[in-house]
Structure formats: C-alpha cells, structure tokens
Structure 1
Amino acid sequence: MLAILNTLCWLLMERRLEHTLSQAEALARQNGWTTTHATPHRRGWPIGAWLEVSNPTLLHPKSTQAPYDAGWTGQTLVLGGGWWSFAGQALLVTLEGRHAARLSGPDGHGTLLGQNIHLRLSPHGLSGFRAPELRIALSFPTVEQTLLLHALSGQVLVAPHARADATRFGVTAHARDMTGLTFPFGYAPPLHEISLALALSGPATAKTDSFFLPSGYSDLRVQNAAASFYSTPDSSRITVSGRLALPALTGDLTATLQHWHELGRQLLSVPAIRSQIPPAMLPDLEKATQDTKDKTTGKGRSLTVSFPVLNGRPVVENALLFPLLTQKFSIPTQPVPH
C-alpha cells in the first residue's frame, strides 16, 4: 500500500514539474526568448521526484525594442528533488555540470560561468542560491574585471512592477573568498568574507523597461559591500555604502576601512602607489602604519572617506587624499605639489 501511495505521489509531482517547465517556456517565448533542450526524463522514484533536462539553452536576440543580446546554456537542468524539497512553496532547481550565461548591451557585456548551482525559486519573488564557484567577467567603459568567487550563497528579490521608490531587483550575497578584483595602480589582492547587499529601484517613469537594461531602474542603492583583505580575525576590512542614480551611475559613496594599518603597510610596498607619494611624506606614513592601536580604546582605528562617483568612475584625487591623512593622524608634511 505504501509503495502504491509513493508511486501516485511521484506521478502527481512529475506532472506538476512538467507543467511548471511548460509554463516557464511559454512565458519566455512571450518575452522574446527562444528555448531548446532534450526530451525531459522523469527521475527520483521512490526517494523523491525530479525532472531532468539535458542541454538546455535560452537565447534572446537583439532587437529595436530590446537592444541587448543574452543567452544561457548548460549541461543539465533538474527541477525538483527528494521529498523533503517539496516542503513549502519554493521550487528546488539544480544546474548540474557546467553552465554559462552572457549579456551584451550597447555599453558592454558580462558573462557568468559556474557549475553545480542550487536555486530555490519562490513564487513570491524572493529566491535563494548557492554555488561552490562562480566566475564573473565584466567589460564596460568604466569596468574591466574578471572575478572568481568561492562558496557563494545568497538571495535574490525580483519585483517586476515596483515603483521608483521601491526595490525592483535586489540581491544579498556572501562568498568565502574572491580573486581578480583590481584596484587603482593595479593592486589586486585576494579578498575574504565578502558580503554584498544591493537594491535597484523601479523606473522613474511609467514606462517599464527590461530587467536587463539600466533604463529599467532609477537608482542603485549599495546598502553594504564589504570584504576583508586577509583571513585573520583582525584583518583590514573595507565597507562601502551609498546611492547612485541610473543610468548615469552618478552619486556618492562612503568607504570605511577598519584595521587599516596592515593594509597601509602593504599599499606602501606597491611601487606604483609609492611613486605617487611625495618623498617627504613617506617616513611619516610608514610610522603611522606601525601604530596599530588607538591610544584611548586600545582597538584598531578606522578610516572613513566619502567621495563622489561620476559616470561610474570614483572621483578621488591625490590632492584630497594626502590632506585627509595628515589631518586624521596629525602627520607633518610639506605642501602637496600640483
């Protein structure tokens, strides 16, 4: 009797999964996407129910109405899982093997490469994800980066009809470590314990553009973007927050650096950075980076800097940076040459 009940449940869930796949494909076609895949196979009995789809692809050609080209392809798409995965309303989706996604627009392009990615898709717009590894490549006029993240997890919020003052697309994420991020002067250290919380507000006009176009949003709110430069508990850690108007990417950001002394010593050892500092300042800066404790609290001091961003580029001039350091730590210096 138990085997019969298990089989009936399996058949019911398989039909629901097939219906879900058909609905997703129909919605994609309505929005200008084309889909292809091999014949789905029912799997899982008796420990669960899942639908296995080999060689899935999703393509969106560039058009006048949607001036972007996008696509996704992978080895295997799995809908469903063990019986435990059907608790609640979220659908478990697993991208087994290697998968790649790309987006190319008028101003640049980006790609994602990953494998064995797990998703929990919610009908209410808040979905979870995790991946052992994800490679991100970005190529835009103001950004040229290739990032590799390990042990990535987080949540995504999607609200297609959000107002200008509400979140249309948001993401919170955490990664164990990341390599590839290049700072000014070519400084590219490995980063640890990365956390991110971003929110894109709905469009300012009644016209609702695609999720894949900057014009589909009114601003970008960086609620929290933080990373440690070392894996130790007292590592130098940077936190960035602020708000940028879209599509111009213009606004203001604030960066706070905790336990900055060790990072300061590392930066002073980079020839490209060292060459930009007046020689008379170097001894005092080197001395300042050795003072690792605040005399009143005994804790590592923090440094906070606010700066404007214009067309996606931070506006931070050396002539402003050096007076900031000298005022913060009372370092006697000669005037900075212009």
Structure 2
Amino acid sequence: MTFSLNTVRYLKTGLVMAGIVTGLLFVDTLLWWRTTHTIETGIEARRAELQAAGWATTVEQITHGGWPFGAWVTLTSPHLRHDRSISAPFEAGWSGKALRVGGSWLELIRTGFPVFLPRPHAARFISPTVQMTILSQDLHLRFSTDHETTFKAPFAQIALTTPSLDQSISVTEFSGRLFTAPDAPHDATRLGLELSARTLRSPALDPLKLALRDARFIAALTSSTRKDVTPFFSLKGYDRLLLQTAAVSFGPDHHASRLSSSGMLELPAFTGHLTFSLLNWHDAAEQLLNTTSVRTSLAPDLQAILERVLHAEPSPALRNDLPLVFDVPVIQGQFPLSLDAFLQNISTHKIDGSHSRE
C-alpha cells in the first residue's frame, strides 16, 4: 500500500493538529482541576470563618463544573443563619436553590471573582430597630480585593420595617456596588452603597398612580469611635449617614419630573436635614392634584394657590425648567411637619411670595 506525497502531508498536518488539540485539552483539564480545587478550598475556608463568627452554614451537595470553557463550584441548597447573641444582637439568614462560585475563563481573568445565584433566593436581617427582607433571583456578584462588591439582578423585592417606617418596594434591572471597610478610621467611610434600578414600585405609591423610573441611590456611613466595641451591623458603630443622592423620575422620557434629595443625618439618632430638588415639577404637581387622596388632604386655599401656579404664567423664578428646591428637617427619623403644613410652607416661601403674573 503506497501513499502519495499529498496524502502523507495531510496525515502529518492532521496528526499535528490532533496533538495540539490533545495538548490544549490536557492543559485545560489541569487548569480546570486546579481552579475548582482552589475555589472549593476557599469556600471551606470562608465557611470556617463564618462559623467562627457565629454563623451556621449548611449545603446539600457540592459539585464541580464548567469544563472545558471555564471552572466553577456549585453549592446546592445553601443556607446561612446567624442567631441573636449578646455580642451580636441581630438575627440574619439567607437561603437559595444554588450558589455557583467561578465562571467562564473570560470571567475569571477579569478583575474580581464572580459568584452567581441562579433562581430565587431570600435574605433576612432583624435587629432591635430594623427588619429587612430581600427577595431576588439570578443575582450576579463580583468580589474584589479592595473591599468592593458589585451586583446586578433582573428583579428584586425589598421590605423594610423601622419604628417610623413600614414599606416594601420592587425594582427591575437592579444593580449596584457595596463598599465595606470594617477597620476604617474615625469619620472615614466604613460602609458605602450605590444602587440603581430601571423601574420602582411600591404599594404606598399605587394610589398616586406614579410610574417611577431610573432610580438611583448613593450613600455612605462614616466610622465611629465606638466601632471597635460594636458589631459591624450595629448603627452604634457609625457617626453619620451621608446621602449623596437619592433620585427617581416620574416617567419614561427625559422631560419627566425628577425628584432628587441629599443631606446628612447624625447616627444613631437619625437627626439632621435633607434637601429635595424637583425638576419639571409642573407635571408632577398636576398629577398629584388629579389624585383624589392627595387633593382631599389639601386645604382649599392651598389647592387654589397650586391651581393658580399651574395654570397661570409663572415668574422666571418658577419656570418649569428650573428646579424647585426645599429643605426638610429630620428629628429622630421623622419629619416634624405634617403634609399640609409642609406644602403650605413651600407655597408661602417658594410659590406665593415669588409668583406674579407676567
């Protein structure tokens, strides 16, 4: 049996390609085995740290996957729980269907370490003054070595209860960034949070028929001199809440009304002030006046003032393209003014005094 010169050349090329593919698969397999082993070792180390800090962790099953395009370790039915104690006076827990640590090779070579929580999961935190529950699904997390964690999810629902607040909200296209520095010096940022969402809904806002969109929240908690003797989750370990921005639009287009706020509150008393700014405020005021629950809560003379401002030609100080800005004091987490007194105060200082017909 004889082979032509071309046949021999093709056989050599095929053998070389087969050798290259086999070598790449061998290297990929070794890298996959080493990466999954490193990930699982890191998971066990973190579980030991959590257990030493008073957290109980349970996992139904641990599996490895991702070969040949990546490497990850999946924890089936993970549960995390912290019971209240004297040194840590709070209860917390988290549970989900699965937790995947790792990802594709492209994800692993990027800065930070990827974690994916597929399907629904729930977290709960209870302290003497705060109760919070978070429900979400398909949550993507990325942890970095500089104390920063980024996250995103297609949907999330949050319920928050405090002595002065009991509300729940649901958001879509939810994303953000969390910064933690437990050993931050006094007056430096110890906990920072940045959130954004495409849409926002709340049962408390349903009667107002407001379509809230493009929500954004940025805030920081500064470290207290008491941080070394108080748990990280206790407000006693913080001196101030610095609100850089909390903004939301009342519609989908760029002409929609947008409410933003900023300010500072002393902790743990929750006493300070907030500054609100309302852009394109005519549309928002018109919508509120057309809402029965709001209209019936306003005094007749205040309704007349607002109607006159909305339907008469305003002065330059009250043009729709200029924001309406007002300050609100906060005392122990509550606004001291009632809704009617608050609106009357705005009308006296911002509307009635500066409005004149051109």
Please indicate, yes or no, whether the TM-score normalized by the shorter chain is above 0.5.
yes
Which residue pairs with 2:12 in the alignment? Answer: none
Name the CA shift for 1:230/1:65 in 2 (closer, same or farther; >3 Å): same
2:30, 2:53 → 1: CA distance? 35
Which residue pairs with 2:15 in the alignment? Answer: none
1:263 to 2:280 alignment: no
2:90, 2:98 → 1: CA distance? 26
Name the CA shift for 1:23/1:243 in 2 (closer, same or farther; >3 Å): same
1:296, 1:109 → 2: CA distance? 43
Which residue pairs with 1:31 in the alignment? Answer: 53
SS at match of 1:314: coil
Runs of 4+ in 1 over 6 A off after TM superposition: none
2:188, 2:312 → 1: CA distance? 45
Which residue pairs with 2:243 in the alignment? Answer: 222
Q: 1:21 aligns with which of 29, 33, 43?
A: 43
Point out where structure 1 has 5 or more consecutive residues left out of the alignment. Answer: 334-338
Q: Deviations over 1:19-38 (max 9, x none)?
A: 11011101101210010002
Contact 1:261 1:291 in 2 (8 A): no
SS at match of 1:321: helix
State the Cα distance separating 1:295 from its structure 2 match.
4.5
Pairs within 5 Å for 1:69-88: 69-88=91-110
Contact 2:227 2:236 in 1 (8 A): no
State the Cα distance separating 1:284 from its structure 2 match.
3.3
Name the CA shift for 1:294/1:196 in 2 (closer, same or farther; >3 Å): farther
SS at match of 1:311: coil
2:313, 2:101 → 1: CA distance? 53
Which residue pairs with 2:213 in the alignment? Answer: 192
1:287, 1:231 → 2: CA distance? 27
2:347, 2:281 → 1: CA distance? 12
Which residue pairs with 2:20 in the alignment? Answer: none
Which residue pairs with 2:176 in the alignment? Answer: 154
Which residue pairs with 1:207 in the alignment? Answer: 228
Name the CA shift for 1:253/1:327 in 2 (closer, same or farther; >3 Å): closer
State the Cα distance separating 1:148 from its structure 2 match.
0.2
Which residue pairs with 1:336 in the alignment? Answer: none
State the Cα distance separating 1:296 from its structure 2 match.
8.2
Q: Deviations over 1:244-275 (max 9, x none)?
A: 11111111110101111111011112333323
Q: 2:80 aligns with which of 49, 53, 58?
A: 58
2:313, 2:203 → 1: CA distance? 26
Q: 1:272 aligns with which of 289, 293, 307?
A: 293
Further displaced range: 130-139 or 83-92: 83-92
Q: 2:272 aligns with which of 251, 266, 273?
A: 251
SS at match of 1:73: strand
Q: Deviations over 1:204-242 (max 9, x none)?
A: 325342232211221111111000111121111111101
| TM-score for the superposition, normalised by structure 1 | 0.91
Point out where structure 2 has 5 or more consecutive residues left out of the alignment. Answer: 1-22
Contact 1:294 1:300 in 2 (8 A): no
Further displaced range: 18-27 or 44-53: 18-27
Q: CA RMSD in A?
A: 2.3
Name the CA shift for 1:303/1:220 in 2 (closer, same or farther; >3 Å): same
Name the CA shift for 1:238/1:206 in 2 (closer, same or farther; >3 Å): closer
Higher helix share: 2
Contact 1:149 1:178 in 2 (8 A): yes
1:103, 1:111 → 2: CA distance? 6
1:125 to 2:147 alignment: yes
Name the CA shift for 1:95/1:196 in 2 (closer, same or farther; >3 Å): same
Kindly, what percent of the aligned residue pairs are identical?
A: 32
1:206, 1:296 → 2: CA distance? 46
SS at match of 1:247: coil
Name the CA shift for 1:54/1:294 in 2 (closer, same or farther; >3 Å): farther
Further displaced range: 319-328 or 307-316: 319-328
Pairs within 5 Å for 1:159-174: 159-174=181-196
Which residue pairs with 1:315 in the alignment? Answer: 336
Contact 1:229 1:263 in 2 (8 A): yes
1:240 to 2:240 alignment: no
Q: Deviations over 1:66-100 (max 9, x none)?
A: 11111000000000000011114411000011110
2:303, 2:227 → 1: CA distance? 55
Q: 1:288 aligns with which of 295, 309, 312?
A: 309
Which residue pairs with 2:5 in the alignment? Answer: none
1:159, 1:21 → 2: CA distance? 21
Contact 2:117 2:138 in 1 (8 A): yes
Contact 1:259 1:302 in 2 (8 A): yes
| TM-score for the superposition, normalised by structure 2 | 0.87
Q: 1:144 aligns with which of 154, 166, 188?
A: 166
Contact 2:260 2:277 in 1 (8 A): yes
Q: Deviations over 1:98-133 (max 9, x none)?
A: 110001111241100001000001121011100000
1:44 maps to a residue whose letter is G
2:89 maps to a residue whose letter is P
Which residue pairs with 2:62 in the alignment? Answer: 40
